[in-house]
Amino acid sequence: MPPRSWGWWTEQKLDILGDYLAAFNKASTTAGTTIYLDLFAGQAQNISRSRTEHLIRGSARRALETRPPFTVLRFFELESQAAGLKAALEAEYPDSRDRFKVVPGDCNMTIAAVLAELADLNWAPTFAFLDQQSTEVQWSTLQQLARHKREDKWKTELWLLCASGLLPRGLRLRTEAIDNTTADRMTAMFGTDVWTEALHATRAGELSSADFRSELTNLMRWRLEQALSYRTTLVFKVTNTNGSEIFDMSFATDHWAGEKIMKDVYSAAERRQPALRLKAQLQRRQAREESQGRYGMFDLDEFAPDKPDATLFEVKPEHVPPHPPYRRRGRLNGN
């Protein structure tokens, strides 16, 4: 399979991950042991869309390179990708072979055995990254992660991608019959079908598509806080200039330090983004010109000014608490 190609916002997400992981391990120094679980670890190599020769360092590499280091790392990946990922990581990080394992198969099926293997370490600070493409993760997996730690310890921290901008398209919201396969997967991911109330309201014109997307993001946070008892969730939304959401990242923690660090990391990412976005635009233009045989004297990278311009995408941290899920008139709110 050719390497996957991504936009600048993926690099932004991975930069946030890298920053958070370093701070997580630093804050956990006294524990002496920290655990990283990557439920959608990715393929051996990824390439930026903005410049073809630019390789993106994916989540597995960023976690392996985190300093201070993680003691234990587990990378979950589908059978078809797992062997390639394992071979690449073993070749690149020969000294880390004792620290990490690639777990082949559907993470929803393999998570129980991995958590059982790590049961003796259920006191150690643990972070799980859930970088799904759409609705691959199942609620039971989130539940198992949330329940993994010993009762007197902070819960496993979760950082979950919710493709709220893509899901309405996947559902075929505007067509006569929605796509039931996507709908069933969404119910399995949220662990409830309460989201279908917002779906019916949107189809009836009572909610806008933007409201529907917000309801999906809100529901995931609501469920993490209410059903899994996380003290705090923080969301980081990636939207285009029309305000349409592409995806968001929900962070769940019980720990005040986790909340503070992630807020700081989200804010730093927000400040970095105009320059990153502009750089991606310039790189794309340079690649286009080079493909037409026109070469400049300088690398455009060196000229990326540090000011926002021609906004294409926007990343907004949202720190307001989630609200009860949307219910159509005459019904009670609940989990």
Which range touches ligand SAM (CB under 6 A), out of 24-32, 36-44, 119-127, 231-239?
36-44
Interface with ligand SAM (CB under 6 A), residue from 131, 248, 314, 318:
131
What is the three-class DSSP state of 48? strand
Q: Does 58 help bind ligand SAM (rule: CB under 6 A)?
A: yes
DSSP string, 84-102: HHHHHHHHH-GGGTTTEEE
Candidates 76, 212, 230, 266; binder of ligand SAM (CB under 6 A) is 76
Considering the rule CB under 6 A, would residue 107 count as an interface residue with ligand SAM?
yes
212 near 168, Cβ under 8 Å? yes
Sole binder of ligand SAM in the list 12, 34, 50, 59 (CB under 6 A) = 59
Residue 105 Cβ, how far from ligand SAM at the closest point, in Å? 7
- Strand, coil or helix: 135: coil
Among the listed residues 65, 106, 197, 225, the single contact to ligand SAM using CB under 6 A: 106
Best CA proximity match to 286, nearest among 27, 52, 3, 59? 52
* Shortest Å distance, C-beta 289 to ligand SAM: 29
Query: Pick from 27, 31, 78, 300: which binds ligand SAM (CB under 6 A)?
Result: 78
CA triple 267-53-81, angle to 5 deg: 80
Nearer to ligand SAM, 62 or 255 (CB): 62
- Give yes or no for residue 136 binding ligand SAM (CB under 6 A): yes
Residue 289: φ, ψ to 5°: -65, -40
| Binding span for ligand SAM by CB under 6 A among 37-45, 259-267, 278-286, 298-306 | 37-45
- 181 scored as a contact of ligand SAM (CB under 6 A): no
81 lines the binding site for ligand SAM (CB under 6 A): yes
Is the four-CA dihedral 274, 276, 277, 282 of positive or negative sign? Answer: positive
Q: Which long-range contacts (CB under 8 A, 24 or more apart) does 107-112 make?
A: 107/39, 107/40, 107/76, 107/136, 107/137, 107/141, 108/136, 108/137, 108/138, 108/140, 108/141, 110/76, 111/39, 111/76, 111/141, 111/144, 111/145, 112/144
Quick one: 138 or 286, whose CB is closer to ligand SAM? 138
Cβ at position 141, least distance to ligand SAM in Å: 9
If one asks whether residue 19 binds ligand SAM (CB under 6 A), the answer comes out as no
Phi and psi, residue 59, nearest 5°: -60, -40
The side-by-side arrangement of strands in the sheet containing 232-240 is: 100-104, 72-77, 35-38, 126-130, 157-162, 245-253, 232-240, 313-318
Q: Which of 15, 19, 77, 248 binds ligand SAM (CB under 6 A)?
A: 77
**Nearer CB in complex with ligand SAM: 90/206:** 90
Q: Are 227 and 335 in contact (CB under 8 A)?
A: yes
Q: Are 56 and 47 in contact (CB under 8 A)?
A: yes
Q: In 3-state terms, what secondary structure has residue 117?
A: helix
* Angle separating helix axes 180-190 and 139-147, nearest 10 degrees: 10
Interface residue with ligand SAM, options 42, 168, 258, 325 (CB under 6 A): 42
Contact between 135 and ligand SAM per CB under 6 A = no
- Based on CB atoms, which residue is closest to ligand SAM, 51 or 74? 74
Q: Is residue 150 within 8 Å of residue 180, measured between CB atoms?
A: no
Residue 38 or 215 having the CB closest to ligand SAM: 38
Q: How far is the CB of 38 from ligand SAM (least distance, A)?
A: 6
Residue 133 binds ligand SAM, judged by CB under 6 A: yes
Residues at the site binding ligand SAM, with contacts judged by CB under 6 A: 14, 40-43, 46, 58-59, 76-78, 81, 106-108, 131, 133, 136
